[in-house]
Structure 1
Amino acid sequence: MPSTPTGQLIDECRRQEEGCNYTGVSFLIWLRWMKAFRLVCYVAPVFFGALATWKIVSQGSPTTAAVCTLLATVIPPAYKATRADKAIEDYITASGEFINLRDRFRQAANIYSHEPFTQFEAKCKPLFDRLEKVRARSLTPPNWFFWLSQKKIQSGDYKHDYDIARESA
């Protein structure tokens, strides 16, 4: 792309589209893990409580029953202390915003870039403001979720069938 203001803004929109894609997908993958963790923390106390009160366990091995009782009583407050429910809500909101921004930056580069530069720039500015706002939350899943998202995206999982058909035509 030439180094015109329009070309530079198109390049920046493409960079932000890519960044939003990787971030949004890594957040979605992290959310799956967090929701599984939440499920385990909700179900485990019930399971351990049932084991602890089961006559076979309580009479056969009082130590096992005691450990199960301990786990049934420790897991709920430990889970609450992690504030995982709040984090899940934050990641749900942020992942949705990153995925939406990905699509908006793509649209800006593909569609709005054909308008005069001042109009193109005016349509991009709110996108950059939204991006700045969602980034201000500084949500940071573990690094390996970003690596997983790179693998998933580069494998073609997030390509549209329409685009695949156009490439092969």
Structure 2
Amino acid sequence: MAEDIRNEDPDTREVTSRRIAEIRVEALRQEENCLYTSTAMYGWLATVKFQHGVVVLAPVILTALAAFSYVRDLIPAWVVALAGLLSTLIPSLAKALDFETHVKELKDAAGEYKSLQDRFRQLANILVYGDVTAAEARMSELMDRLDAVRSKSIVVPQKHFEAAQAKIKGGTYDFSVDMNLRDAAEDGLVPMVARR
């Protein structure tokens, strides 16, 4: 049932408008936060997957190098011995560093941040204009999810964050629909919507 806003107290309307604005701003802030974090994590994940591939393939290659008898004639014996040592040492180090778990945790966290980015954007652009109390509840729920993924304490290396910043600011993640809407707003065809 629709509210009768004609008889609503102006102070109540002002407070409601302020609540809508604050929820929208916070949701947009968290959307941007999740965009930067997920982009940095996906960049880091590519590096970690490459490192994981090296950890899996290096022992095989080093074992093959040490095993071929004709290689012993071409390179010094200490290099062959070192290759044999490294081929047994690398898997042990990978197990000790728990590489598999780190790849999975990073992949899960990056996916959760990307999902939260979309949910915060939907809240800021759609849900906030409905029931304000429901929007506040949704904001609280999303912040709880964000706190849960942050509690994993995955710290992205600075170089990956800087690379993500450059990609985002360079327009890599701008959707054509957003660019078209921005152009239409500049031409006065649709109202301008405040964005980041």
For each residue in 1:106-161, what CA deviation from the matched residue of structure 2 results, as whole angstroms up to 9, or x when unmatched?
00000011113212212222111111111111111212111111111111111112
For each residue in 1:29-64, what CA deviation from the matched residue of structure 2 results, as whole angstroms up to 9, or x when unmatched?
111010000000000001111111122222342122
What TM-score do you get using the length of structure 2 for normalisation?
A: 0.81
Between the aligned partners of 1:157 and 1:150, the Cα distance in structure 2 is: 10
1:66-81 mapped onto 2 (5 Å cutoff): 66-81=81-96
Aligned residue number for residue 14 of structure 1: 28
Q: In terms of Rg, which structure is larger?
A: 2
1:148-159 mapped onto 2 (5 Å cutoff): 148-159=163-174
Which of the residues 5, 18, 27 maps onto 2:41? 27
Aligned residue number for residue 69 of structure 2: 55
Which of the residues 27, 32, 43 maps onto 2:57? 43
Between the aligned partners of 1:26 and 1:52, the Cα distance in structure 2 is: 39
SS of the equivalent of 2:70 reads: helix
- Give the total of aligned pairs: 168
Aligned residue number for residue 4 of structure 1: 18
SS of the equivalent of 1:137 reads: coil
Shift of 1:6: 1.4
Shift of 1:167: 3.0
1:109-128 mapped onto 2 (5 Å cutoff): 109-128=124-143
Aligned residue number for residue 83 of structure 1: 98
* Counterpart code for 1:44: A
For each residue in 1:54-82, what CA deviation from the matched residue of structure 2 results, as whole angstroms up to 9, or x when unmatched?
22222342122111111111111011111
Q: Say whether the 8 Å CA contact 1:57–1:64 is kept in structure 2.
A: no
* Counterpart code for 1:100: S
What TM-score do you get using the length of structure 1 for normalisation?
A: 0.93
Q: RMSD of aligned C-alpha atoms?
A: 1.6
SS of the equivalent of 1:55 reads: coil
Shift of 1:102: 0.3
For structure 2, the 5+ residue unaligned runs are 1-14, 185-196
